[in-house]
Amino acid sequence: MSVVTCPGCAAKNRVPPARPGKVRCAKCHTDLPWLVDADDDSFDAVVAKATLPVLVDVWAPWCGPCRQIAPVVDQLSRDLVGRLKVAKVNADTAPRISQRHGVSSIPTLLLYRDGKEADRMIGAVPAPQLRAWVERALTT
């Protein structure tokens, strides 16, 4: 469980990695950013069973391009609050997820809708291109 500060009232909220629907502030009911870690054991609960679209960032700590897009991915979780859940998967500690999705290079971004992979993007791309890709997927 992670702790998220509400952008509306600054209250601290415990946010679970998996649950249906959106996550909201317990005090003012504002939608909260939902950025979680997932691994081989938690992936299906965190991602495949989510009711919101999920952007999955498959990354590794030693990967320069992964570190380059990480702040953009984090910002998307804040900018698209209530519309998108973001799950970070470390490829080094979750090899079964990488294998299951045929991830052969990182960063790989997977977009899940209704429990299924809807699209993917491989490699680091400029922030405006990544944002446009995610927002286009959210409107379809």
Instruction: For 69-106, write each residue's pLDDT tens digit.
Output: 999 999 999 999 999 999 999 999 999 999 999 999 99
pLDDT tens column, 16-62: 898 888 999 999 999 999 999 999 999 999 997 888 999 999 999 99
Instruction: Decide if 39 contacts 32 (C-beta within 8 A).
Output: no
Its pTM stands at: 0.92
Which active-site residues does the annotation give? 63, 66
Topology classification of domain 32-139: Glutaredoxin (3.40.30)
